[in-house]
Amino acid sequence: MDTLIYRKIEKKELNRTLFQKFQRRQNVTKALRRDGDDWVAKDAAFIDDWSEADYEELLKCLEHTLSTGGMIFGAFEGPYVKGFVSIEGIPLGMRRNYLDLSSLHVSRECRGRGVGTRLFHMAAGWALAKGGEKLYISAHSAIESQLFYQAMGCVDAEEPNKEHVAKEPFDRQLEYVL
């Protein structure tokens, strides 16, 4: 989308109005599920969307990201976010070599236009500049999400984070070498 402006999101911008024109809705028909050591596409019809309470929780999480040294980048249409990515500033892993890509979301009407790809690469560049060796991603199991991360070059994480696994047991734990 040529009209989108990509830039970092400042803490003072974090409010519900920022997301007023953001459409999280995702109609999931298939999702990857673990079958032994393999990931298999299974029928899993559901609609993933955010309530007002979810947006409140998102804003708290994003504020925490910034207050602990992380970064948020956004794709803006005027004053509204149409896509965003957050990277935590506190390293993960035994060697503290992972930086957590804690969220990457693109508004429904902007998907499939390269917005997520651009945001992903912005996050990777920031993480590399911070000294990270890998991005850690707890990825939604929807086929569309999995295909996106596969296209970015992500693979199964060598060191799955126990907190992420416990919080989202259906997510696939991935990494991206910087």
Whose structure tokens read 């060598």?
158
Length of the chain: 178
- Identify the structural domains of the chain with CATH numbers, from first to last: 5-177 (3.40.630.30)
pLDDT tens for 21-66 read 999 999 999 999 988 889 999 999 899 899 999 999 999 999 999 9
* Residues 6+ away with beta carbon under 8 Å from 62: 9, 14, 72, 86, 103
Quote the pTM value: 0.94
Specify the DSSP element, H or E, that contains 119: helix 115-129
- Per-residue pLDDT, 2: 62
120-152 pLDDT per residue, tens: 999 999 999 999 999 999 999 999 999 999 999
pLDDT tens digits, residue range 59-93? 999 999 999 999 999 999 999 999 999 999 999 99
Give CA–CA dist 2/71, Å, rounded: 23
Q: What is the pLDDT of residue 37?
A: 86
Structure letter (DSSP) for residue 2? T
- Given this model, what pLDDT does residue 1 score? 46
pLDDT of residue 34: 87
